[in-house]
Each structure stands twice: as structure tokens, then as C-alpha cells.
Structure 1
Amino acid sequence: MRTGMFALALGLVALRWLPALPPGWLLAVLAVLGALALLGGWQSHLRRPLGLALLGFCWACWSAQSALEDRLSPALDGQTRWLQGRVVGLPAESGGVVRFQLEQTSARRAVLPARMRVTWHGGPAVKAGETWRLAVKLKRPRGLVNPQGFDYEAWLLAKRIGALGTVKQGERLSAAAGPLAWRDQLRQRLLAVEAFGREGGLAALVLGDDSGLSSADWRALQDTGTVHLLVISGQHIGLFAGLLYGLVAGLARLGLWPQRLPWLPSACFLAAVGALGYGVLAGFQVPVQRACVMLLLMLIWRLRFRHLGVALPILLAIDLVLLAEPLASLQPGFWLSFGAVAILVWVFGGRLGAWPWWRSWGRAQWTMSIGLLPLLLGLGLPISLSAPLANLLAVPWVSLAVVPLALFGTLALPIPWVGEGMLQLAGGLLEVLFRLLGLLADWQPAWQAPQVPAWVWALGATGALLVVAPTGVPVRALGLAMLVPLFYPPQHAVPEGLAEVLQVDVGQGLAIVVRTRQHTLLYDAGPRYGDFDSGERLVVPTLRSLGIARLDRMLISHADNDHAGGALAVQRGLVVTEVVSGEPDELPPALQAKACTSGARWQWDGVHFQTWRWAKATSGNQASCVLLIDAGGERLLLTGDIDVPAEAAWLAAHPDIQVQWLQAPHHGSRTSSSAAFLRGLASHSVLVSRGAHNAYGHPHPQVLARYQALGLAVYDSVEHGAVRLRLGAFAPAGGLRKEGRFWREK
């Protein structure tokens, strides 16, 4: 049985690594082969596992294909249409921007996806359960693509969101009603409680609504490895069920439970009802469903099937979760939650005798940190070095104090003073916790590990399993040595005389990393919009994934937000030796930027650099610091936002210099990329960094036509994601979006 269940799980999770979905005819053939393997008469111990694996694989692929087919039609991409839909989930409001999901959408003369996610800048209050008529600029699901970056498109597909949109105007057609409205009303009631400013945290714990957590809160949680405490997960569901189970068990042990009711079935039943009730309260999203399935199976196992071993309910839970939603394997939470359970089973399943509670608790924390390390690395997630200590304190704090007070306080809200008092106490405990986590985060921020080769990851994963293995497993100490390469992986060295260039995909902005053998330069740092700082969210993680912890120079072309907005975050996240800019006085004083000077030259590892700034500049764009990089005769020109007059001035100052690679001035604006400039450079390729459907219309159609007429290869961040090229190798560039991922827009 276990072999077949394991094979089914393998077939279902194989979807996660597919570069493209198999064609329908091939899936039909595989499904028939799988059915024949299950039902056929030929004898083999591999017959049933093979059949289950094939059928699981086909089901996962068909499910994924249906989700892809429900995406917005390319013909509607970028169009504004009137549509009607019902608000589901809990809308989030931050900085005057309202974000919410729509279902049951319909529009005249257009077929829309079943589920959409929209944004309304300056919009009115929107409540769950309402029906709206909206004018929406529609967009196909698309995200930024960077090395080890958050894969927004995979996240959208896993939630079966088929379209994005920006609301232009709208009208409410019907008021909120039903369970959705009830959850929204309860959220408003929770947010109205004065709980030491932690009302958003209480809403996260009770309703699964994390929109009330600030970016500083998320940073503290991530740096200390405690995100799971404020996002409803199996831990919260299991805790509440465990409290109810323990209540019945305790009463039975004291002789206070009615003898006519068997205590064990009653305890399991009450725990199951409590878990399902908490799940409904939290919206019963996929992570909560996963937790409820696992808990129910564990309770059934506790009642009737303990003799079959604890691995059985885990395997069954994995299969049920993936059969119900095969796309769950695209989410990191799936791997982390089941990985954590598997590690605990591995650690405690083979122990001999009973341990004191303090020993079990301490061992659970450090083994979880080590055991989950390979998973975090494989998923490209930050690793918290303070997580064992933080969780040692925070888990009982939240589990035994904050969550019970928050839940019972919510239930007691109809009772004057009682419910609010309990919620206020829970909020005070949360405030103390966040202060402690903030101190730990300042002491030891999360570590973004560099990318490692597959053999290093496999070696480290084996070592982690050995380290956390039960006492008595041989060569456990060898596991520590096998972990070392994860922290000190083989370094990729850039050859002498060459430069590796990466145009980071930051949306409507610019950030370009230039690496030589021993030096690194960052040209611009991306934008900052409200709480989203691309320097913190995109540029720093990208640099750290490349193994870069120090910048020899950060060159900010000029002070516009889309080029300089992320600079402070980069300076906070990395060691920056020097900052240079075309507009140093317009940048934050903390950057201590120096002025860009024309004709400044330097050489790093055989690669030549030269800056230029137009002395007659009358605007910030014209004052952009331009950088020319020469590696073995192959040149790249980084231009910032210079316009046509500045382009002419650069040509006059650099006659007869051919430049093979050009960063499109001003993102391809109509005021730049003049025909004279392009002919003078004689480039063969151009890098364009911009946001999809940006409000400025970059790159302008006339500019694109100019590139095409001159035969330039265009590497557009919207079409290619982050773009890599090796200057000096005279080879084409490559875009990360072109790497095989079946869910990505090509």
C-alpha cells in the first residue's frame, strides 16, 4: 500500500518540474497505459505503482492545462472592459490602494477567467460578498523573473487566478451577503479593537487575513524564521484541535468526563470539529485545507490504525491534497509543511524511551532548522540563522497564549468587555513578541544563500538527514561535514578580461549588475512604490543569490525614483564601498553620493570603465551618468534616461566609437534613441528595462520600429525577464523567462 501511495505522490508532484505540459494525445496514451497497468493481468511488483504514478501524472497535467486555458485571452490583454463580478476573500487596503479578487465574472462579447485579481487606486471601501460593475484594464498573469526570485506567475496559477486588472471606475450592484460578508464584518470588528496597534496581527491569526501586517512586520518575521506563526497553517489548526483534545483527555484523567461517552472518540470528534470550524473561519484556503486533511487523518490513525505506522497518514494526506489540487505543489508552503512533518517523524519516530518535554522541545527546534535547510535552499527562500532561538521563544508564546486568547476573545465579543479584554491582552502579547523579534532580526538578519550546483544540494540534503537522524544511526557526525558545501559552495569565477552583466527585472525601472573577476558594480537600483522597495525585494536578493555581499561601486544614473528608489535598501543590505551619481545632491544624504565626472576611467580585472555626464544638462534625465564598459573590444553603453540632445552630445564627445550593446535610453521613450544616435553607435543589440502595460507607453512604437529598421536584437525585460550577457565573449544574451517553466508567459 505504501509503495503505491508513494508512486501516486511522485506522479502528482512531477508537475512541479515540467518545462512544458505534454500534448493531450500523449496524456491520453499515458492514462490508458496507467489504467492497463492497474487492471492488467501481467504479474509484476511494479505494476500497480507504475499505474498509479502514470495516472497521477496525467491528472496533474490535465488540471494544470485547464488552469492555463482559463487565463485571459491574449486578444484582451491590455484592453479596458466593463465587467461584473462578486468579491471573494477579504479585500486588502494599503496606502489608498484596494486589492481584491473577483469570481463569477462576466462581460459582453468577452469570455473572462473564473477568477481575477484587481487593484483599485484611490478606490472606495470594498467588502467581501459584494457584486460590482467595474471598468477594468485587463492583463494576463505575468510577474518579474529573476534568479531565485519570488515566482509570482506560479503563485497566481496555483491560486487559479486567470487575469489581473486595474480598476478605472465602478459601481456597487449589490451589498455584501452570506458567509463572505460575515467574515468581512468580523474582520472589521477585530480591527476596531484597541490592541496596542496589533489588530492586524489578530486578524491574521483569527481570519488568515495578513493584509494588516506592515512591511516591517514581515521583515522581522522573515529574518527570524517565524513567518509560519502569523500565517494560519497546520500549526494553528493542530494547536486548536490539540487544546480541545487535551481538554477531553484531561477531564477523563481526572474522572470528570461522563463514563457513558468513550473519551478517545469524543476527544477526536471534538478536535476534528474544532479544526474544521477554525478552517472555515480562516477562509478554508488551500494551506488550511491541507492542514485539516492532515489533522483528520492523524485523528483517524489515532483511533484505529496506529499499528500501521505514522508514515501512512502522511502519505495519504499528500495524495489527497494533490488529488484535490495538483497545483499545490507549485507553492513553497506545500513543501515546507509536509517537509516539517516528515522531519519530526524522522527525528522522533526512532527514539528509545520518553524524553523530558524541555529536551523534546529544544530538539524539535534545532532539527527543524537543519532539516528544512535544503528545502529552503531549493526553493530560493531566505534562511534565518536566528530561527532556532526565535522559535524556541515565539512558538509557545503564540501557540499557548496569543492564539487561545485571540480565538476565545473573538468568540466572546458579544459579551461586553470580556471579548475585547482578551483581544487587548492578545494584542499586548503580540506587541512584546514583535519587539523581541525585532531585536533578533537586527542582531541576525536572514541570509539569502547563493545558488548551489545540484550535487552540492544533494550532498547537503543527505547531510541534513544524517544530522537530525535518531540517536544510533551510524555516521551521523559525517552529516556535519556534508553540510559545509551548502554554506561555502564552489564560487563561479568570471574569466579575466570578461564582464558578466545582468539586467535585473525590476519592472518600470532599471538595475544592472556588472561583475568582473574580483569586482562588482551596480548601475541603478530600481524603483520604490509605497511599501514595495525593489532594492530590498529584488536587487539585494538577486545579488546575494549570485554570491555577492559587497559592491565596489553603486552608480545611480540620476535621482528619478525608478532608478534611485531602491538605493537606500541596497546600501542597508550590502556593503557598498562608493556611491556615484549624476545628481548626487538630489539623493538621500545617507547615500553620501559623489558626483559623476566626465572622462573618469578605471580598470577592473582587464575590463575598462568610463563615465560621462553632459555638462549642459538642464534636467535630471539629461544629467544621467552614462557608463561605457569595454571588455576585450566588446562594449556596452549604460545611458540612464538621457534624451536626444544628450545623445548628440555623447556622440560628439566620443566620435568613431562603436558600441555593440546599448541600454535603451529612458526605457525606449520617444524622446530618446534617435536615429543618428543608433547609427553612430552601430549597435547590434539593445536592452530594454520596463514594466508590462506601463503608463508611459515604453518602449514607444516609433522607437521599436527604429530598432527593427536597423536590425537591432531587442532584449525586453517584459518578454525575457532578467537578461544575462557575457561581455567580451561576443555571444548572444539570454533571458530567464525563456527557461522552461510551463506556467510562464513566453
Structure 2
Amino acid sequence: MRCLILGFVAGVLLLQNAATLPPSWLQLCCAAAALMLLLAGRCMTRPAAGIAACAGAGIMLGYAWAALLAHLALAPALSTEDEGRDLQVVGIVGSLPARFEQGIRFNLNVERTLTPQATVPPRVALSWYADRGHAAGALAEVQPGQRWQLTVRLQRPHGNANPGGFDYEAWLLEQGLRATGYVRAAGRDNRRLDDVVPGFGTAVERSRAFLRDRILHALAGRDYAGVIVALVIGDQRGIEQSDWQVFNRTGIGHLISISGLHITMIAGLVALGVSALWRRSFFTGAQLPLLLPAQKVAALAGAVAALLYVLLAGFGVPAQRTLYMLAVVALALWSGRLSAVTHVLCAALGVVVALDPWAVLWPGFWLSFGAVAMILFAGHGRLGPEPRGMRGALLLAGRTQWAVTLGLVPLTMLLFGQVSLVSPLANAVAIPLVSFVVTPLALAGSLLPEPLCGWLLVPAHAAVAALAWLLGHLAALPVAVWRAPAPQAWVFLLAAGGTLWLLMPRGWPQRWAGAVAWLPLLLQAPDHPPDGGLRVTAFDVGQGMALLVETAGHRLLYDTGPGYAPGADAGSRVLLPYLRMRGIGAIDGMVISHGDLDHTGGAAALLAELKVGWLASSLAAGHPIARAAPRHLQCAAGQHWEWDGVRFEMLHPAPASYADAGLKANARSCVLRISRGKGSGRRSVLLAGDIEAAQEAALVAGAPGRLQADVLLAPHHGSGTSSTPAFLRAVQPSVGIFQVGWRNRYRHPKKQVVERYATLGIEHLRTDLAGALTIEAGDAVAIDSYRAVHTRYWYGR
């Protein structure tokens, strides 16, 4: 059975990496072949052959099952004709609303579409912004389970596509959200039809909303109220990005949610209490243990308590894994067949993947099951006998934490490109404090009436604040995190084998040698282009600009993308994950073309996390970004430098332009030309920022010989005020790149601009369609797009 389940997971993983879904006939063939292999495996006399047959059957069964669910999930779709137009729908608020400064976000379960000849998917994600001139608090109070009639504008699922980035489109598919959009507020007939629509989901989400409101009211104005909310109901949206950075650098992010440890603790406490009461029922004359053994009642009570807690958690993967493991244990107790722990783990693994085949796409799935697997591997005779009592319990806990910390290093490096060196110390303090102090106080405080609610929640918050103070000091240490590029397959497998060698039982020969297998994993250096080579990565950041320029020994960032929302920007959401995946912790220089938010949005996050040699920009000296830089220079035409045989030339703005206070920020954009090689082998890239027609004309008149480039970053995202014919003829690019957001409100790139590029024979590429673009400028120019290289079946465009 274990081989069948592991094969099933492998088959699901194979499907989730497929570019297209298999046809129905192939799914049926896989299912039939799986059945035949299972039957053949039972007849085989050699154990190895039987195991191989079971694993093969599992692979085909998992592949077919995941394909079937994917077909069903993709079936509801919004037509392209209905994108961007007003649609009137009636539906039920199906999730806990997330409130932010400008409005709220929630999921709507659509019951019917009132707009003629339009079909809206059954579940959509909506944002509802406050009207201009009104505070967000004046917005209608939206609660889970309410029925609303709304006028909405929708689009099909679409997200940024970057190496190392979060796959928003896959997440939407997993959640069953087949369209996203916003409520049309001004002058529309948006009204609540029913205050409560009865249902199980309504009861769960209303309970979560009630508990969240109680906590936020009791802890109003306190910094870590969002952490308390996350521990009680699993809603992590109220935690600040800066706090997440500290938690991740110290390796305790897994605790800031309803984790498996918390669920097991609550289930165990409930089971112990019910067991004690059931046994003592003899003294009441009921003699309940004669009717049903106390052990079975305790197992049932613990499983029910775990189920209730997991429902509050929003049914995340770690919570699911724990619930299914406890359910398997409860069933084993009731049936009188206590299964081995590996059977329990595999059963939970199979149930999670069967119910949610997209779970294998997320790091939390692998870390959750990997941690339990490491505990099991290290626990069966490998941690050694321990003294009894408190000392033995502490030693066992310490060695278990040590085994998990070591065991997850290869997986953590594979998933994140970094590992926290202070994690053992941070977890040694955080695990007991959060699990046995903060979580019980938070749960009790959220459930008990006033004034007990505040009396318990305030101490819980104080404990979190004290922990955050300690973690902040640990995260600030220069050696807090070890970074290296995400490993290749052979490097990961070598390190994983070395880890298992390290965790073998006492007496195993040369256990220390397992650490040697980590050296290729930890000592990898970020790759560079070859000597004289040039690589430029244009990121898919939405409506904004952000590019990484690399030579054989240096790196430069040109612009940092937009800010998306308070605490969310392209720097933290796109650029930093990419740099971590590559093992890049420092860049030599940064150029901010001008002060618009779609170019500066990620700068603060990058300057806080990366070592940056210098910053060149057209920003005023007193600008917050300029002040945060270790060294700030103003861009000026005539500046130039050379790195590893690659020449960098600043072509704009003129130094005198800074004296003109009436000049728009776009007109002062830093224009950078990058070139390598000489003669016929010369290759160049021109990064034009947001210059417009007047600045283009000045460049054509003043520096026509220095404008030529093979690749042009289209000025101002392809607006109608840029990319004049004279400028394009002077640059003579073979490729033009438009960094734009999908269905952006500016309608960039403009149709006439795209036609102008096509008329001049210039190939044009858009990041919203192609994803991140990687330009390799060697003897020739080669461009790869992320969506083409990393094609997945859920990319509908």
C-alpha cells in the first residue's frame, strides 16, 4: 500500500508539470493499465517485482486522477467577450473577507448571472473599493454567508510569471476561482439580498469572522494582533511583511499559523479530558466504559476536536496532514488494528493529494511531510535511549528538533535557496512559547466572554511581542541566513543522501562524513554570463519596469517594479524570490530611472534585504529611496563605466535638466545603453525608461550614433507619447520589449505603437503574455520567455 501511495503522488506530480492535459482516452488507458498492474502484482512471487508493479500502478493512477480533476477544474471559464464589461450577478459571500485601507476582498459563490447571454464561473475572487471621497469604513459591511446582487467587471485568471515566483494562476485553479475582478461601486445597483444563507460553509466562515473581530477588538492598535489571529483561525493576511521577513530569516514561519503541532496538542488535551471524564463515570452509576471503552471515546473526541480546529484554520495542507493522520490513528484504535507510523504518514499523504492534487506545487506540502518523515526516520532507534522525567523529555525534544533542522536543509535550499542558521536557537525558544503559552491563551481568550477575553489575549500578545523582539535581534545577525543557488538535481540528491547518513543510528560508521555531501549544496556560487557576455532579465512585474543586468562579474538592477498594496511590492513579491533562488545576496549597482511608483515600488524592500553598492537615479537627494541608499548619484548624460568588457553609457538626462523644477519625472528618466563586443560582433541593449517624444527627439538630435541597439526596452511601456518613428529608426532594434501589466488601465502598449514596431520589422515581446524574458547577448542575441520554457496546462493564454 505504501508503494502504491508513493507512486500515486509521483503520478500527480508528473501531471502538475505537464504543458497540456492528456485526452480522456489516455486517462482511461492509464486507469486500466493501473488496474492490470495491481492484479499482476498480486500474482508475482518476487517482492521486488510486486513493489515495482504497485509503484507503477500508483503512478498511472495518480496521473489519470489528477488529469480528471484538472479537466473538471478548468471547465468553468469566463469568455473573452465578457472580460472587462459590466456583469450583474447574484451570489453568496463564500470566504472570510480581507479588509484593507481601500476596501475589502472576498470570494463570491455565484448563484446566477442576470446579464443576458453571459456566463460567469461559479466561484470568483472580487475586490470592492471604497468610493472616492468616502472612507473604507463606509463600505457596506460584507460578511460570510450573505447573498448580494453586484455589478462586477471580471477577467480570466492571470498572474505574473517569473522564475522562483509565486504561481498565482495555479493557486486560483486550486481554490476553484476561475475569474477575478472588482465590484463596480459608483452609481451601480449593489445591494444585499439576504443577511444569512444557512449552510455548513456559512457557519464555519461566520465563526472565523466572529473570532477574528473579537481578537482585533481586544487587541486594537497592537502590533502583533495579526499573529494572534493567525494562530486562532489561520488567517495570516494581517501580518506585516516586515514581520514575515523576521520570521523567515529565523526559520519559525511554520509556527505562525495553525500548525500540526498545535492541532495535535489540542486534540491530545481534549482526548485526555474526555478519557478522564469517561472513566470516572463509574462513580455516577452510568458505567459508561462498559458500553464503550474510554480509549475509543478519547480517540473519537480528539479527532472531532482536530476537525473543528482544522476548519477554523481554513483547511491548509499542514492542518490537513495532521487531521488525516489523527483520523487514521482513531480508525486504527476503533478497529483494533494499530498501524505502523509509516502507514499512518502514507495514508495521510495519499488522502491530501487525492483531495487536492495541486498541493504538490507548494513548499508547505513538502516541508510539512518532510518534517514528519525526518522525525520518524530519526526516531526509530536513532535518537538513542533517553533518561526518564523532565530531563529525558527535554533531551528528546532537543534531538528531535536537531533531526528536523538537519533533515530539512537540502529541501529548504531546493525550495528557497537559503537556510536559517539561527533556526535551531529560534525554534528552541519559539516552539514551547508559541505552542504551550501563546496558542492556549489565544484560543481560550477568543472563546471566553468579556472580561476574560482581554485578560487572556493581552498576555498572549505580550508573549508574542517578547518573542518578536528576540527574533528581531537574531534576524539582524550577519550570519542569520546562508544563501546559495537552488541546487541541481544531482546536488540535491547527494545532499539528501548525506543527510540520511548523518541521521543513522548511533554506531553507524563515519556518520560525520554525511556532512561532506552538503558541500556542493552550500558552496555553490551564483552563475554568471561568460567573460564578455551580457545577460538581461526583464521581469514580469505587471505595469512597471524591473530588469537585472549581469556581466561576468557584476550585477545591476534597472528599476524595481511597482508597489501593489501596502506591504506588497514587486521587490518583495518578484525580485527577491528570484535573487534568492539564484543565490544572489548583493548587487553592484541600482538605477532608478525616475520617481514614478511603477519604477520605485520595490526599491525600499530591495535596499533593506540586499547589499547594494550604489544607487544612480533622477530622484531628488532628499527622496526616501535616495537617503536609504549607501551611496547616491544623480544620473547624467555622459556618465559611463565598463564591467568585464561590457560598456555602460548614460545617455539621458542632461545635467542642466535638474534645474528645471517644472519638468515631469518621465522627462528626466535615466536612459542607459549597455553594449559588449566590437565590430560586427557588437551587441547592445537600450533601456529607455519613460521618456516621451520630446526626449526621444533630443536624443536623436544629440546622440544619433550612440542610440543603435539590438534590443530596446520600449519607452514608457509603449504609450502613445513615445516610440516615435524617428527614434525607432535611429535605434534600429531587432526586438522591442514591452513591460506592461495584463489588461492595464492605460491600455499599454497602444495599438498604433505596436503597429509601428511591426511596420519597421521590429519583433515585439510583452511580459504580460510571455512572462519574464531572459536576453543572452553573446555572438548573437537569444531571448527566452518564462511561459514558453515553463509551460503549464493552466496557462490559458
Fold match (TM-score > 0.5): yes
Q: CA deviation at 1:467?
A: 2.1
CA deviation map 1:431-481 (0-9, x unaligned): 222222222222365555423222112111222222233334444222201
Q: What is the aligned partner in structure 2 of residue 590 from structure 1?
A: 628
Q: What is the aligned partner in structure 2 of residue 612 from structure 1?
A: 651
* Number of residue-to-residue matches in the alignment: 744
Q: What is the aligned partner in structure 1 of residue 586 from structure 2?
A: 550
CA distance in structure 1 between the aligned counterparts of 2:352 and 2:26, rounded to whole angstroms = 25
CA distance in structure 2 between the aligned counterparts of 1:408 and 1:544, rounded to whole angstroms = 39
TM norm structure 2: 0.88
Tell me if 1:663 matches 2:713: yes
Q: What is the aligned partner in structure 2 of residue 626 from structure 1?
A: 671
CA distance in structure 1 between the aligned counterparts of 2:83 and 2:119, rounded to whole angstroms = 12
Tell me if 1:183 matches 2:208: yes
Indicate the SS of the match to 2:94.
Answer: strand
Q: CA deviation at 1:42?
A: 9.1
Which residue identity does 2:609 align to in structure 1?
G
Q: Is the 8 A contact 1:499 1:726 kept in 2?
A: yes
Indicate the SS of the match to 1:690.
Answer: coil
CA deviation map 1:207-234 (0-9, x unaligned): 2222222222222222222222222232
Tell me if 1:565 matches 2:607: no
Q: What is the aligned partner in structure 2 of residue 115 from structure 1?
A: 123
Tell me if 1:328 matches 2:359: yes
CA distance in structure 1 between the aligned counterparts of 2:41 and 2:6, rounded to whole angstroms = 22
Q: What is the aligned partner in structure 2 of residue 136 from structure 1?
A: 152
Indicate the SS of the match to 2:485.
Answer: coil
Q: What is the aligned partner in structure 1 of residue 84 from structure 2?
A: 78
Q: What is the aligned partner in structure 1 of residue 325 from structure 2?
A: 294
- Structure 1 residues 584-593 or 320-329, which shifts more? 584-593
Q: CA deviation at 1:266?
A: 2.9
Gap change, CA 1:41 and 1:608, over 3 Å in 2? closer
Gap change, CA 1:8 and 1:625, over 3 Å in 2? closer
CA deviation map 1:403-452 (0-9, x unaligned): 11222223322xx4223322222222222222222222223655554232
Q: 1:718 aligns with which of 764, 768, 772?
A: 768
Q: Is the 8 A contact 1:136 1:167 kept in 2?
A: yes
CA deviation map 1:250-285 (0-9, x unaligned): 789999999752442232122112112222333445
Q: What is the aligned partner in structure 2 of residue 697 from structure 1?
A: 747
Equivalences for residues 250-329 of structure 1 within 5 A: 261=289, 262-284=293-315, 287-301=318-332, 308-329=339-360
CA deviation map 1:500-539 (0-9, x unaligned): 1111222111111111111111111122242113223322
Q: What is the aligned partner in structure 1 of residue 170 from structure 2?
A: 154
Q: What is the aligned partner in structure 2 of residue 539 from structure 1?
A: 575
- Structure 1 residues 190-199 or 430-439, which shifts more? 190-199
Q: Is the 8 A contact 1:149 1:380 kept in 2?
A: no
Tell me if 1:365 matches 2:391: no
Tell me if 1:164 matches 2:214: no
Moved over 6 A (4+): 249-259
Q: CA deviation at 1:200?
A: 2.6
TM norm structure 1: 0.94
CA deviation map 1:338-381 (0-9, x unaligned): 11111110110233534511111111222212212222233336
Indicate the SS of the match to 1:740.
Answer: coil
Q: What is the aligned partner in structure 1 of residue 733 from structure 2?
A: 683
Which residue identity does 1:280 align to in structure 2?
L
CA distance in structure 2 between the aligned counterparts of 1:428 and 1:101, rounded to whole angstroms = 33
Unmatched tracts of structure 2, length 5 or more = 45-49, 131-135, 658-662
Q: What is the aligned partner in structure 1 of residue 262 from structure 2?
A: 236
CA distance in structure 2 between the aligned counterparts of 1:129 and 1:707, rounded to whole angstroms = 51
Q: What is the aligned partner in structure 2 of residue 101 from structure 1?
A: 107
CA distance in structure 2 between the aligned counterparts of 1:456 and 1:506, rounded to whole angstroms = 31
CA distance in structure 1 between the aligned counterparts of 2:473 and 2:102, rounded to whole angstroms = 31
Q: CA deviation at 1:614?
A: 3.5
Percent of aligned pairs sharing the same letter: 38
Gap change, CA 1:110 and 1:644, over 3 Å in 2? same
Unmatched tracts of structure 1, length 5 or more = none
Q: Is the 8 A contact 2:27 2:64 kept in 1?
A: yes
Q: Is the 8 A contact 2:587 2:610 kept in 1?
A: yes
Equivalences for residues 295-694 of structure 1 within 5 A: 295-301=326-332, 308-351=339-382, 352-354=384-386, 356-380=392-416, 382-413=418-449, 416-443=450-477, 446=481, 449-489=484-524, 491-529=526-564, 530-585=566-621, 587-588=623-624, 589-591=627-629, 592-615=631-654, 617=657, 618-632=663-677, 633-657=682-706, 658-694=708-744
Q: What is the aligned partner in structure 2 of residue 67 from structure 1?
A: 73
Gap change, CA 1:105 and 1:371, over 3 Å in 2? farther
CA distance in structure 2 between the aligned counterparts of 1:168 and 1:681, rounded to whole angstroms = 43
CA distance in structure 1 between the aligned counterparts of 2:267 and 2:689, rounded to whole angstroms = 57
Q: Is the 8 A contact 2:386 2:396 kept in 1?
A: no
CA distance in structure 2 between the aligned counterparts of 1:41 and 1:535, rounded to whole angstroms = 52
CA distance in structure 2 between the aligned counterparts of 1:272 and 1:307, rounded to whole angstroms = 16
Indicate the SS of the match to 2:557.
Answer: strand
Q: Is the 8 A contact 1:587 1:593 kept in 2?
A: no
Indicate the SS of the match to 1:333.
Answer: helix
Equivalences for residues 18-37 of structure 1 within 5 A: 18-37=18-37
Q: What is the aligned partner in structure 1 of residue 133 from structure 2?
A: none
Gap change, CA 1:516 and 1:50, over 3 Å in 2? closer
Gap change, CA 1:136 and 1:474, over 3 Å in 2? farther
Q: CA deviation at 1:663?
A: 0.3
Q: CA deviation at 1:545?
A: 2.6
Gap change, CA 1:95 and 1:238, over 3 Å in 2? same
CA distance in structure 2 between the aligned counterparts of 1:183 and 1:542, rounded to whole angstroms = 35
